[in-house]
Amino acid sequence: MRRRIQKLIKKKTKDLNSKTLDQKQKKSIISSLEESIKHLNETLGNSDDFVVRKISVGKEEDINIGIFYIEGLVDTERVSDFIIEPLMFDFQEDESIHSKQDLLTVIKDSTIAVGDIQDVSDYESLVSSLASGYVIILVDGFTKGFTIGLTNENYRNVTEPSQETVVRGPKEGFTETLRTNTALIRRKINSPNLRIETRKIGEVTQTQVSIMFIKGIVNEKVLEEVRARLSKINIDGLLESNYIEELIQDKTFSPFPTIYNTERPDVVSACLLEGRVAILVNGTPFVLVVPSLFIQFFQAAEDHYQRWDFSTFIRFLRIACFFITLLAPSLFIAITTYHQEMIPTPLLISLAAQREGVPFPAFVEALLMEITFEILREGGIRMPKAVGQAISIVGTLVIGTAAVEAGFISAAMVIIVAITAIASFVIPAHNMSISIRLIRFLFMGLAASFGLFGITAAFIGLILHLCSIRSFGIPYMSPFGPFNVPDQKDSLFRLPLWRLSTRPRLVNQQNINREQSPSPKPPSKK
CA 60 to chain centre: 55
Q: Are 481 and 491 in contact (CB under 8 A)?
A: no
495 dihedral zone (left: phi>0; alpha: psi -120 to 50; beta)? beta
Identify the CA nearest to 70 among candidates 129, 30, 122: 129
DSSP reduced 3-state for 480: strand
Q: pLDDT per position in the chain (526 positions), as tens?
A: 445 544 444 444 444 444 443 444 477 888 888 888 888 888 888 888 888 988 888 777 778 889 999 988 888 888 888 888 888 876 665 555 555 567 788 888 778 878 888 888 888 888 888 888 889 999 888 888 889 888 876 778 888 888 888 888 888 999 988 888 999 999 999 888 999 999 999 988 889 999 999 998 898 889 999 999 999 999 998 999 999 999 999 876 889 999 999 999 999 999 999 889 999 999 899 999 999 999 999 998 888 888 888 999 999 999 999 999 999 999 999 999 898 888 888 888 888 888 787 888 889 989 988 888 888 888 777 777 666 666 666 666 677 777 887 778 888 888 898 899 889 989 999 889 999 999 999 999 999 999 999 999 999 999 999 999 999 988 999 888 888 887 888 888 888 887 777 788 777 667 777 777 777 777 766 5
* Residue 97 CB burial class (10 angstroms; 0-12, 13-18, ≥19): middle
DSSP reduced 3-state for 303: helix
CA distance 180 to 239: 18
Q: Are 362 and 333 in contact (CB under 8 A)?
A: yes
Which element (helix H / strand E) includes 50? strand 50-57
b/e string for 276-311 if b means 16 or more Cβ within 10 A?
Answer: bbbbbbbebbbbbbbbbbbbbbbbbbbbbebebeeb
CA distance 286 to 260: 10
Q: Are 239 and 205 in contact (CB under 8 A)?
A: yes
Length of the chain as a residue count: 526
Strand partners, 214: 194
Name the amino acid, one letter, at 67: I
E strand residue ranges, 422-476: 470-471, 474-475
Cis bond upstream, residue 482 (ω within 30): yes
> Inter-axis angle of helices 123-131 and 33-43, to 10 degrees?
60
Q: Are 400 and 414 in contact (CB under 8 A)?
A: yes
CA distance 476 to 411: 39
